Amino acid sequence: MAATDGAAALKLERTSKIFVAGHRGLVGSAVIRRLQNIGYTNLIFRSHSELDLTNQCAVKTFFSIERPEYVILAAAKVGGIHANNTYPADFITINIQIQTNVIDYAYRYGVKKLVFLGSSCIYPKHAPQPIPESALLTGPLEPTNEWYAIAKIAGIKMCQAYRIQHKWDAISAMPTNLYGPNDNFHPQNSHVLPALMRRFHEAKISGAKEVVVWGTGSPLREFLHVDDLADAVVFLLENYSDFGHVNVGSGKEVSIKELAELVKEVVGFNGELVWDSSKPDGTPRKLMDSSMLAKLGWEPKISLRDGLVGTYQWYLNNLK
């Protein structure tokens, strides 16, 4: 598949020097796994203690010394509704600092191509469904995560601006709701799927008779296993070069109620679910239109059930 924007598909050497920013997170760790599985041998990454990406001077020094050829920017401050509502200043400031530093110094120090990873929350709350890439900036955002969304929109626009002004190959991929190994299972600051998994597990262990779940259970959501996303990211790195951002989704949606029942079954919790409708539901429906990516020749491979089984096994193996 030839890349767009007049460029041929990018021929990366398996020894190409690739910097994966945010390698310990859900997305970054999956990208590392994927790159290693297909034979890339020259990957560089830094933990937060080794390189604070919000520190402009530190990022400049890193790029001036390491000189990576390619960058996958998966580092971000992320969280669910509760975290976004509680720490809005952190979500907008930290993410904009990370993006600005990494994108700018990647360009300045000769990186050939950068892949910026955003989120489906960039789209308006009442965007058409499924959500096409063209829905960006056509209406108000979902209030519960607008700070994070605005930061990610700024990242997309920064990549586009550098492409316009400097003819630099920076692309953006917008994943749908993700889950999988290395997810955040924090009791308050996690997204819906890992939060449910942890709560059902703890209820099972404690012998609880019921678990209370936020909202009505009616919102529809799309979930993509993070290993599928990592596969898509590497595919886009090698095959896509154009101005527009690209949606990455599974194309399948499930209600939060159906999801909760499926997670409950996978975990083996036999109690009751109680829905607390006084708590916010968030966006009523969110399904990505990933037809652009499908036309480029990529599709997901991991079913929701199989992905949940593997994620729960990872959770059990990594319980602290």
148 a catalytic residue: yes
Tell me the C-alpha distance between 165 and 168, whole Å. 8
Please answer whether residues 234 and 38 qualify as being in contact, where contact means their C-beta atoms are separated by less than 8 angstroms.
yes
Structure tokens at 136: 């960006």
Please tell me the chain's helix, strand, coil percentages from 3-state DSSP, rounded to the nearest 5.
45, 15, 40
Task: Report residue 318: phi and psi, to 5°.
Answer: -115, 15
What is the Cα 103 distance to its own chain's centre? 17
Residue tagged active-site, from 40, 70, 148, 179 = 148
Amino acid at 48: H
Q: How far is 66 from 251, CA to CA, in rounded Å? A: 38
> How far from the centroid of its chain's Cα atoms is residue 71's Cα?
16
The sign one gets for the Cα dihedral 154, 229, 223, 270 is negative
- What are the φ and ψ backbone dihedral angles of 81, each rounded to 5 degrees? -60, -45
Torsion of the alpha carbons at 81, 83, 87 and 88, rounded to the nearest 10: -30
Residues with a known catalytic role: 148
